[in-house]
Structure 1
Amino acid sequence: MRYPSMTALRALDAVARLGSVAEAASELNLTPSAISHQIKSLEQTLGFALTERHGRNIRITYQGERYARDIHLLLASILEAGQRSDGQHISGRLRISSPPGFATYWLCAHVAEFQTLYPQVELQLVSPRTPRDTSESSVDLFIAYGMGDWPNQHVQKIVSLRYFPVCSPSLVNAMGGLNSLDSLRHALLLHMIDYSDWRVWLAEAGAPNIEAERGIIFADAHFVQSACIAGQGIAMGDNLLSGEALAQGRLVKPFSTEIESSRGYYLVADMLKAERPVVLVFSEWIKSQLQGITRLVPDPGHTDNA
C-alpha cells in the first residue's frame, strides 16, 4: 500500500473535527469538491470507506472515526515537533478573551501546555462582557460563543456542539426520577442567553407542548452549569463543557436525544492581528487540542427516556 497524501489526511482530519465538508474546505482554503475528492482518494488508498451518505450530507463511518483519531494524533505529533523547534522563537504578548464557562471547564485545565511549548509568550486571559462580545480593542484573540456571524473579522470554528439535558443526581432523586418527558413539566429549566436551546430540543424530542419559556436565564455557561450541579434545575448541557461533570457523576444525562447546535465556539480576531505568529500558533494549538470533542461518547448511565 502506498503512503496517503498529507493533503488527504488533513482533509479527513478537518471533516472529522468540524463535522462538515464545507467548514473543512474553509479551514484548509480548498473547495468542498476538492475535500470530497481527497477523501475519496484516501478511501481508494486504504481500501475501506471513511464516509457515508446521511441525507444530503456525509458523515464519518465508525471505521473512519477510528482512523481519523489516529491520524489526528499523528498530525498533532508533527505539529508539536515543529513547535518544539520554533517555540523559543515565538514571543510577545498574547491577550485572549474567553467566556467564563469555556475558561473554567476547558481552557484553564489545558493552557499550561501552551505556555510550556511557547515559554517566551506573555499570555493573558480576560473575560468578555458577553459570550459573543469581540469589541475589546486590547484583546488579540477572542474565543467567542455564537453562530459565526462576526463581520469583517477573521473567524474560525473550533468546536461544534451537541446539546442534551443534564441535571444533578440529587435532583433526579428529589423528583422521584425522570421517567418520561412529561416529568419536565414539573422541573425548573435553566437557560443560557435565551430560551431557544430548550425550545429546539423539546421539539426534536417529541414534546413541543411542554412550555420552554420558563425558568431562569443565565448570561454564561459557567453560571448555568454551576446551578445545575447544585441541583437547582435541569439545564441544556453540551459535549464540551459538560463532559467532565458527566464522567465524574456530578451530572447525569436523563434523556438520550441530542441536537446539533447552531451555535459553537469560534476564534475571532481582527484581520491584521490574525496574521501575527503568536496568534497563529495559539490558534493551531487550541484546534489540535479540541479534536475529538465534537462528539460525546454516550453516557452509559443515562435513563433512555427519549
Structure 2
Amino acid sequence: MLQGPHKLRSGLPPLHALRAFESVGRTGSAKDAALELCITQSAISHQLRQLEDALGIKLFERRGRSLSLTLAGREYFVAVAQALALVRDRTETLIENEQQDTVTVASLPSFAIHWLIPRLSEFFSKHSRVNVNLRYTLMGESAPNDAADLRIRYGSGTWEGYMSQQILGGSLIVVCTPEYLKRHGQVRETTDLRRHQLIHDQNLSCWRQWFASQGLTDFPLSHELVLHDQHMAIAATLHGQGIGLCRSTLIADDLAKGRLVRLFEHSTDGENGYHVCWREEIRLSSAAKAFRRWLVAQSKACSSEVSYSSGD
C-alpha cells in the first residue's frame, strides 16, 4: 500500500530510484534492469517502491514477478527517459571535449615539416599535458568523415562545412643555397635566371607570375624542375638542384640560418595562404582550442621579412 507523498528535497526523487525506474520501463524487466545496473533484483524492487512512496503514485502493476507501467507510469517514464538521456549525452560530450588531452591535426606536408614540427617544442612547453597526433593531408583532399580535430589547408580560407582562420600568408620569393651560387655563378639580374634550372611545385604558373610582376611577360623557361608540392620543391632547393620559388613563411628558418639565400628583394603575394580549419558542427575540445590559439600566436610572432643577397 502506497504511503502519502514525502516532501522531496529540491523537488526531486532519489536519482538511483529514477535510474532503476527508467531501466525497468525500457527493458520491461526487473531482472534485465538489475543486470544493466549491476545490482540485485531485490534492490531494483526496493528502489521502485521507494520511488512510488516518494511520489505517492502507483507507477507499476505487479502480477507475480511481472511488471507493467500504469498510465501515470508511462507518462512519467517518457519524461524521465528523456531527462536521463539528455544528462547522459551532455556528460559524454563534456568528458570528450573538455577533458580530452589529445588533439589530432591533419596538415599539408610542406607546412608540417618546414614550419610546424620545428616549433612544436614551444607548444609542449606551455601545454605539457596535451598530446599531439599529427598526420598528413594532401592539397585538395576532401574528408567529410575525417577524425582530425584541426586541419591545415592552403587556399583562400573558404571551404564548405569548415570554419577557418589564416595563420600564414603565401608570398613567393626566389632562393637557392650558397653552395649552388659558388658552383653556378652569381645571380644579380633577372635575366641571369635563363642559365639556371628553376624549381617549383605543380602550380606551373608561379614562375611566370613572378616574371610578369617584374614586367617580363614572355620570359622563356628553358630549364625547369617540377615537383609534386612545396615540400619537395623546398627539399630540392636545399639540396642544390637549382633555384627555387618558395613561400617565405616556410623557409624563414632556412634563411635565418644561412641554408638558403634570397636572390631578389621582389616577391609575389597571392590571395591564398595557410589556414587552420575545423568542422562547423564540431565543438572543439580544450586541447584543440589551445592548439589553435597557439598556432595563431606563433604565426603573428613569425616575421615574414627576410633579407636578400645577390650572392656576392
Question: TM-score, normalized by length of structure 2?
Answer: 0.62
| C-alpha contact 2:175 2:260 (8 A) present in aligned 1 | yes
Q: Decide which of 170, 173, 184 is 1:175's aligned counterpart.
A: 184
- Compared CA separation, residues 179 and 110, structure 1 to 2 (3 A): closer
Counterpart selection for 1:230 from 222, 225, 239: 239
Q: CA distance change for structure 1 residues 274 and 290 in 2, over 3 Å: closer, same or farther?
A: farther
1:98 alignment counterpart = 107
Give me the identity figure in percent: 25
The one-letter code sitting in structure 2 at the alignment partner of 1:110 is R
CA distance in 2, matches of 1:273, 1:185: 51
Matched-pair contact (CA < 8 Å) for 1:167–1:251: yes
In the alignment, structure 1 residue 112 sits paired with structure 2 residue 94: no
Name the aligned partner's letter for residue 98 of structure 1. Answer: S
- Offset at residue 204 of structure 1 (A): 0.8
Give the whole-Å Cα distance in 1 for the aligned partners of 2:149 and 2:183. Answer: 46
Contact 1:98 1:125 in 2 (8 A): yes
Q: How is 1:111-190 mapped onto 2 (pairs within 5 angstroms)?
A: 111-128=120-137, 130-135=138-143, 137-190=146-199
> Over aligned residue pairs, what C-alpha RMSD do you find?
2.4
Q: Structure 1's 278 and 200: CA in aligned 2 closer, same or farther, altered over 3 A? A: same
Instruction: State the 1:189 CA deviation.
Output: 1.4
Amino acid across the alignment from 1:155:
S
Cα distance in structure 2, aligned partners of 1:127 and 1:239:
21
1:198 aligns with 2:199: no
1:90 to partner: Cα distance: 5.2
* Alignment: residue pair count: 214
Map residues 12-161 of structure 1 onto 2, 5 A cutoff: 91-128=100-137, 130-135=138-143, 137-161=146-170
Deviations 1:22-71 (A, max 9, x none): xxxxxxxxxxxxxxxxxxxxxxxxxxxxxxxxxxxxxxxxxxxxxxxxxx
> SS state of the match for residue 170, structure 2?
strand
Deviation at 1:159, TM superposition (A): 1.3
Q: Secondary structure at the match of 2:226?
A: strand
Specify whether residues 263 and 100 from structure 1 end up closer, same or farther in structure 2 by C-alpha distance, changes over 3 A only. same
Assess if the C-alpha contact under 8 Å between 1:161 and 1:263 holds in 2.
yes
Q: Go from structure 1 to structure 2 and tell me whether the alpha carbon gap of 1:107 and 1:282 turns closer, same or farther (over 3 Å shift).
A: same
Please state how far the C-alpha of 1:224 moved relative to its aligned partner.
0.8
Q: Distance in 1 between matches of 2:213 and 2:311?
A: 15
Structure 2 match to 1:283:
292
User: Partners in 2 of 1:248 and 1:220 — Cα distance?
Assistant: 23
1:250 correspondence with 2:259: yes
Letter in 2 for 1:217: V
Deviates more, 1:130-139 or 1:90-99: 130-139
1:191-231 per-residue CA deviation (whole Å, 9 max, x = no partner) reads 12311221211111222221359622222222111110111
Which residue of 286, 306, 311 corresponds with 1:297? 306
Aligned 8 A contact 1:181 1:207 in 2 = no
Question: Structure 1 residues 145, 91: closer, same or farther in 2, change over 3 A?
Answer: same
Deviation at 1:260, TM superposition (A): 1.2
Q: Cα–Cα, structure 1 residues 132 and 118, in superposed 2: closer, same or farther, change >3 Å?
A: farther
User: What's the CA shift string for 1:233-287, capped at 9, x where partnerless?
Assistant: 1111222111111122221111111121222110111113353332222111110
Residues 1:148 and 1:193: Cα distance change in structure 2 (over 3 Å): farther
Distance 1:201 1:274, change over 3 A: farther
**Is 2:276 the partner of 1:267?**
yes
Residue 182 of structure 1 aligns to a residue whose secondary structure is helix
Amino acid in the other structure paired with 2:236: A
Structure with bigger gyration radius? 2
TM-score (structure 1 length as normaliser)? 0.64
Which consecutive unaligned segments of at least 5 residues does structure 1 have?
Answer: 1-88
The alignment partner of 1:303 has SS state of coil
Q: In 1, distance between residues paired with 2:142 and 2:150? A: 9
- 1:220 paired residue number: 229
